[in-house]
Amino acid sequence: MSFDHLNTIYRSFDIRGKFPEEITPEEVEKIGKAIVVHFGAKKVAIGRDIRPSADILFDSLSKGLTSQGCDVIDLGLTTTPMTYFIGGSTDVDATVMITASHMPSEYNGLKITIEDSKPVSADVLQILKEIVGTHTFSSEKTTGSITTHALQDDWIANFKANHDLSETNYSIVIDPANMIGALDIATFKAFEPDITVHTIYNEFDHTCPNHEANPMKHDTLTDLGDEVVCQKATMGIAFDGDADRVGFVDENGIPVPSDIIGIILTKYIMAKYPKSTIVYDIRSTKALPELVESLGGTAIQEKVGHTFIRTTMREHDAVLGIELAGHFFFKESFFSEGGPLPAFMVMEVMKKEQKTLSELAAEAKVYFPSTEINSEISRKPEDIFAELRGVFSDADLRDKDGLSIHYSDWWCNIRPSANDPVMRMNLEADTQELMEEKRDQVLKIIRS
């Protein structure tokens, strides 16, 4: 079998493509069979978001799994973190979330975890790909069962048991961008009347008619910020397409970068778990590891990508992982994203310190970032890296995830996109003036 048409769907972190041109019901049925063959799975829980193809792919995946004797637990509509919760808190052998995250609704895909919600890495996805193309699957008549499980009550009860927002009188606005994150509105409402919950774009609509479900893009937070100001709310919370990424705006409607939120979470986590380990992605402010180390903890820098961060967290028993795209990972949520968990932690820090989100963010922002800047390139990445190495030969040069250039008063990371002729740059400096100077200097080289 030729895999040429499948190269785009077996990615570094998941399986994803256009439906039905790339990710087909037939392919997904075989993937279900391959999961049983490779992992020996006997019980798999499946959740899905609201995309039109979700039910079709659920039927195909279930058919593949049950045909090999595996039982299926149908979770129905769920967020991705809810499937991780099931994977870590029950006896299932694997979970699959049918979603394409923030991508348009004509796309769909599979996020697979095994054994206590461990993410399936790129090399394992390639093995599944090979099994799909080469394996002769069992034709025995042993057929697994399909049962349903509504998990939202357990999910909400877990939050109620672990968080205290009494006497806060906070007012929050939630924007799920018309996608599956609307399910977590009930999680916040469970804390009423201690908090007041307002919502925008909370009706399911897979076309995302109001804005893209991608809180990393701060322009998608504009309406949320406006509503926070209108309601005189305490903060705003936005979810991406499958609700595993979270974005924040403060009480003034201003977006708060994820690494700054990470610093606030670090305060919470390290007060609870002193001298613990925290993993952060290579784009994050250097104020983050400085804070961790000042509190007696260990900070580990990792490549961009949830699989890299989650794997490193498990290896070092880290309690928190931070990715600039809005992924926050927690040991207590099985080294995976906790859905609304970072929002509850931030509110608890606000309660403890009696400060607004903007005040906490101002304390955390020590340096001056460029934010991520994407540039279309006409040269090979290695040629750009070679020129950068020559210009900044006296710097501390690091090769993890592209090229990082470090000086005492500024640093940057430059890395190529995995899918497009684009170079991504993040730069930070001790002053606004130096940041702008070095930003322009590096961009000139990238774009030449």
Q: What is the CA radius of gyration of the chain?
A: 22
- 105 tagged catalytic: no
For residue 314, give Cα distances in angstroms to 39, 41, 311, 317.
Answer: 20, 22, 5, 5
Q: CA nearest 190: which of 162, 233, 159, 167?
A: 159
Question: Burial level of 275, CB count in 10 A (0-12/13-18/19+)?
Answer: exposed
Give CA–CA dist 223/219, Å, rounded. Answer: 9
Cα–Cα distance, 126 to 129 (Å, whole number): 5
Q: Pick the catalytic residue from 101, 105, 258, 284.
A: 101
Residue with tokens 């129905």: 76
Task: List all residues 6 or more positions away from 329 whose beta carbon is below 8 Å from its beta carbon.
Answer: 279, 306, 309, 310, 313, 320, 321, 322, 323, 335, 336, 337, 338
Identify whether 20 is preceded by a cis peptide bond (ω within 30 of 0).
yes
Residue with tokens 């903060």: 235
Helix and strand tally (H, E) in the chain? 14, 23
Q: To the nearest 10°, report the CA torsion of 329, 334, 337, 341.
A: -90
User: Locate tokens 């613990």: which residue?
Assistant: 276
Residues with catalytic annotation?
101
